Structure 1
């Protein structure tokens, strides 16, 4: 019989939980890793996504290791897989904030209006043996030119709060997209095909739940 496997998601994002569920994956635990997400001077958006996802995974694994050390050795069991992700939206090399204020969201949407932008999601997986595996997925998105009514109505909806680039493609902002090249789920916050490939490549049995009809 195969040894039990556990997966910890270093995020509290409901969107990422829902996307994992779509692949038949249910993390045993959510462990948001709060870190300073300020970009370094002249840091490229791709490099930022990679760095932040790696830092989140490392921090979550360190917290788990401390918890396990406090347990009697015979109660620790196998270390979990730790998965982290970070999504960055950029126009050229200009990194958009994760909008928390109305003015931030307004500035983001005005910049994205009628233009192409790129969405990068960094994936980081720490294996039970403590090895780090990483990759960055890129999607190109183009918005139509937004009317004043569209802009004001979207800002009033509040969907932009806490979202990279000030929008959520799975909501009303999906009506702004005229072209998308690459992974749609990447723009939502977790590129599913690449996440599954990363997990299965390190021995996590993603498809086990499919045999019994899902999670």
Structure 2
């Protein structure tokens, strides 16, 4: 009886040799090499240009608003008529006022008006004002000039005012008005005056 030889194929793993992975099957990664938790990025680089554009837009808007407000910050005064008593002691002056921007408020009361005619401090007798349109106000003032006959003079007026500096705070100050070449007993005149806002500073 012929002896039958049984041949067994012994796996390489059984004898301790590593199995060479097939090129078609990618090697599996061990669990220890995988991240347990995916940490979010601290910032998104794509958002940096977006925020930069927003900040630039805000800065440009603030600058434009500031310059527009500075241009139109104060009212514009023009003398329309001047009447002087025969003794040259009492003057009546009518103004047409172009109203300032909404950030400024002007007070026209007697106690809120100071006046100087030339080098003379004049006493204010009365004032009146009336808003005649959205953009214009009629303002008049009566004052005592001291009785000196004046042909050409300079008129300086201070009116109490305030500025809305920011929300919840109003900066006190006054409107400085300066008019040149005043002549008594003139009607229907158009003398343009210079004006500016001066903020009061605490001492």
- TM-score in same-fold range (> 0.5): no
Higher relative contact order (CA 8 A, sep 6+): 1
Which of the two has greater helix per residue?
1
Greater Cα radius of gyration, structure 1 or 2: 2
Report the TM-score, using the length of structure 2 for normalisation: 0.29
